[in-house]
Amino acid sequence: MAIIKLPERKITDLKDVCKSFNNEKGELINVLHKAQGIFGYLPAEVQEVIAKELNLPVAHVYGVVTFYSFFTMTPKGEHPISVCLGTACYVRGSEKVLEEFKRLLKIQVGQTTADGKFSLSCLRCVGACGLAPVVMVGEKVYGRVSPDGVKDIVEEFNN
Amino acid sequence: MKQKQLRIALRNCGVIDPERIEDYIAKDGYLALGKVLTELTPEATIEIIKKSGLRGRGGGGFPTGLKWEITRKVHGDQKYVVCNADEGDPGAFMDRSVLEGDPHSVLEAMAINGYCTGASKGLVYIRAEYPLAIERLKIAMKQAREYGFLGDQILGTGFCFDIEIRYGAGAFVCGEETALIHSMEGLRGEPTVKPPFPSESGYLGKPSNVNNVETYANIPVIINKGADWFASIGSAKSKGTKVFALAGKINNVGLVEVPMGTTLREVIYEIGGGIRDGKAFKAAQTGGPSGGCLTVKHLDIPIDYDNLIAAGSMMGSGGMIVMDEDDCMVAIAKFYLEFTVEESCGKCSPCRIGNKRLFEILEKITQGNGILEDLDKLKNLGKVIIDTSLCGLGQSSPNPVLSTLDNFYDEYIDHVTYKKCKSKVCKSLMTYIIDEEKCIGCTLCARNCPVNAISGERKQAHYIDPEKCIKCGACMEKCKFNAIFIN
Amino acid sequence: MELIKLTIDGKPVEAEKDTTILKAAKTVGIDIPTLCYFQLKDMNIENRPGGCRICVVEVKGRRNLAPACTTLVSGGMEVNTHSIRVLNARRTVLELILSDHPAECLTCAKSGSCELQSMAQQLGVREIPYQGEQSTYRKDTSPAIIRDVDKCIMCRRCEMMCNEVQTVGALSAVNRGFMAVVAPAFEMNLEKSTCTYCGQCVSVCPTGALTEVDHTRNVINALADPAKTVVVQTAPAVRAALGEEFGLEPGTLVTGKMVAALRRLGFDYVFDTDFAADLTIMEEGTELLDRLTRYLEGDPSVQLPILTSCCPGWVNFFEHHFPELRDIPSTAKSPQQMFGPIAKEYFAKKLGIDRKNMIVVSIMPCLAKKYECQRDEFKVSGDPDVNYSISTRELAAFIKLANIDFDAMPEEEFDKPMGESTGASVIFGTTGGVIEAACRTAYELYTHKKLAKVDFNELRGFESIRHATIDFNGLLLNIGIAHGLGNARKLLEDIKEGKSQFHAIEIMACPGGCIGGGGQPYHHGDSAILKKRASALYREDAGKPIRKSHENPFIISLYKEFLGAPGSDRSHHLLHTKYFDRSASVFVEE
Domain harbouring C60, CATH code: 3.10.20.740
* The CATH number of domain B329-416, selected from 3.40.50.2300, 3.30.420.40, 1.10.10.10, 1.20.1440.230: 1.20.1440.230
CATH of the domain at C452: 3.40.50.1780
The C-alpha of B377 sits at a distance from chain C's nearest C-alpha, in angstroms, of: 8
Task: Give residue-wise pLDDT tens across range A44-72.
Answer: 999 999 999 999 999 999 999 999 999 99
pLDDT of residue B175 exceeding 60: yes
Give the distance, in angstroms, between the CA of residue B82 and the centroid of all CA atoms in the same chain.
19
Q: Bridge partners of C67? A: C56
Show pLDDT as tens, one digit a residue, over chain C (590 residues).
789 999 999 999 999 999 999 999 999 999 999 999 999 988 889 999 999 999 999 999 999 999 999 999 999 999 999 999 999 999 999 999 999 999 999 999 999 999 999 999 999 999 999 999 999 999 999 999 999 999 999 999 999 999 999 999 999 999 999 999 999 999 999 999 999 999 999 999 999 999 999 999 999 999 999 999 999 999 999 999 999 999 999 999 999 999 999 999 999 999 999 999 999 999 999 999 999 999 989 998 888 899 999 999 999 999 999 999 999 999 999 999 999 999 999 999 999 999 999 999 999 999 999 999 999 999 999 999 999 999 999 999 999 999 999 999 999 999 999 999 999 999 999 999 999 999 999 999 999 999 999 999 999 999 999 999 999 989 999 999 999 999 999 999 999 999 999 999 999 999 999 999 999 999 999 999 999 999 999 999 999 999 999 999 999 999 999 999 999 999 999 999 999 999 876 654 43
When pLDDT is averaged across residues B469-478 and rounded to a whole number, the result is: 84
Report the number of distinct structural domains present in chain A.
2
HSE-up of residue B229 (Cα within 13 Å, Cβ side): 10
First-to-last alpha carbon distance for chain B, in angstroms, is: 41
Q: Which of C135, C168, C172, C179 to mutate to test the interface with A (most CBs of A within 10 A)?
A: C172
Instruction: For domain B8-231, give the CATH number.
Output: 3.40.50.11540
Give percent above pLDDT 90 in chain B.
86
Cβ neighbours, 10 Å, residue C61: 8
Report the number of distinct structural domains present in chain C.
3
DSSP for residue C562? I
**CA distance linking residue A142 with residue B237, whole number of Å:** 42
Please name the chains neighbouring B, where neighbouring means 3+ C-beta pairs under 8 angstroms: A, C
Give the distance, in angstroms, between the CA of residue A37 and the centroid of all CA atoms in the same chain.
10
**CA distance linking residue C519 with residue B136, whole number of Å:** 59
Domain-located, residue A118? yes
Cβ neighbours, 10 Å, residue A37: 10
- Looking at the complex, does the CB of residue C315 fall below 8 Å from at least one CB of chain B? no
CATH of the domain at A94: 3.40.30.10
Residues C311 and C192 in one domain: no
**CA distance linking residue C404 with residue C400, whole number of Å:** 6
Where is average pLDDT lowest: A143-147, B326-330, B354-358, C92-96? A143-147
**CA distance linking residue B477 with residue C12, whole number of Å:** 73
Residues C387 and C472 in one domain: yes
The C-alpha of B170 sits at a distance from chain A's nearest C-alpha, in angstroms, of: 5
C71 contacts on B by Cβ (under 8 Å): 193
The range of the structural domain enclosing residue C533 comes to: 217-575
Asked whether C527 and C40 are in contact (CB, 8 A), the reply is yes
**CA distance linking residue C418 with residue C416, whole number of Å:** 5
Does ipTM come in above 0.85?
yes
Give percent above pLDDT 70 in chain B.
99
Residues A93 and A141 in one domain: yes
Task: Give residue-wise pLDDT tens across range B205-247.
Answer: 999 999 999 999 999 999 999 999 999 999 999 999 999 999 8
Shortest CB distance from C184 goes to which of A5, A47, A59? Answer: A59
Q: Is A126 left (phi over 0), alpha (psi -120 to 50) or beta?
A: alpha
Domain-located, residue A72? no
> Who's near B303: CB < 8 A, 6+ residues apart?
B242, B258, B260, B261, B262, B263, B264, B267, B286
Asked whether C276 and C335 are in contact (CB, 8 A), the reply is yes
C64 contacts on B by Cβ (under 8 Å): 386-389, 395
Asked whether B51 and B248 are in contact (CB, 8 A), the reply is no
* One-letter amino acid for residue B313 of the chain: S
Looking at chain C, which residue has its C-alpha nearest residue B191? C49
**CA distance linking residue B433 with residue B429, whole number of Å:** 13
Give the distance, in angstroms, between the CA of residue C77 and the centroid of all CA atoms in the same chain.
41
- Looking at the complex, does the CB of residue C175 fall below 8 Å from at least one CB of chain A? yes
Residues A85 and A59 in one domain: no
**B431-486 is a CATH 2.60.120.560 domain:** no
Domain-located, residue C71? yes
Residue B450 has a pLDDT of 82
- Looking at the complex, does the CB of residue B460 fall below 8 Å from at least one CB of chain C? no
Is B353–C65 a contact, with Cβ atoms under 8 angstroms apart? no
Task: Give residue-wise pLDDT tens across range C92-104.
Answer: 999 999 999 999 9
Give the distance, in angstroms, between the CA of residue A131 and the centroid of all CA atoms in the same chain.
22
Catalytic residue positions of C, numbered: 284, 287, 310, 330, 369, 372, 377, 514
Residues A97 and A154 in one domain: yes
Is A3–C185 a contact, with Cβ atoms under 8 angstroms apart? no
Asked whether B312 and B406 are in contact (CB, 8 A), the reply is yes
The H-or-E segment that residue A121 falls in is strand A118-123
First-to-last alpha carbon distance for chain A, in angstroms, is: 38
Backbone angles phi, psi at B246, to 5 degrees: -80, 130
* One-letter amino acid for residue A25 of the chain: K
Out of A65, A89, A106, a domain closes at A65
Please state the length of chain A: 159
A57 contacts on C by Cβ (under 8 Å): 163, 168-170, 172, 185, 194
- Nearest residue to A83 via CA among A50, A55, A120, A34: A120
Is B384–C97 a contact, with Cβ atoms under 8 angstroms apart? no
Give the three-class secondary structure for B374: helix
Sheet holding B121-126, edge to edge: B162-167, B121-126, B80-85, B208-212
The H-or-E segment that residue C334 falls in is none
- The secondary structure of chain C in percent helix, strand, coil, rounded to multiples of 5, reads 40, 15, 40
**CA distance linking residue C569 with residue B95, whole number of Å:** 76
Residue B288 has a pLDDT of 85
Residues C500 and C564 in one domain: yes
- Nearest residue to B358 via CA among C385, C129, A72: C129
**CA distance linking residue C224 with residue C221, whole number of Å:** 5
* Domain range summary for chain B, segments of one domain joined by +: 8-231, 241-322, 329-416, 431-486
Backbone angles phi, psi at B316, to 5 degrees: 60, -155
Residues C540 and C400 in one domain: yes
Q: What rounded mean pLDDT belongs to chain B?
A: 94
Q: How far is CA B178 from CA B200, B224, B316, B348, in A?
A: 11, 32, 17, 14
The C-alpha of B341 sits at a distance from chain C's nearest C-alpha, in angstroms, of: 6
Q: How far is CA A85 from CA B195, B309, B395, in A?
A: 35, 26, 23
Shortest CB distance from A71 goes to which of B169, B190, B327? Answer: B169
Q: Residue B196: is the preceding peptide bond cis (ω within 30°)?
A: yes
**CA distance linking residue B201 with residue B209, whole number of Å:** 10
Residue C2 has a pLDDT of 81
The C-alpha of C154 sits at a distance from chain A's nearest C-alpha, in angstroms, of: 14
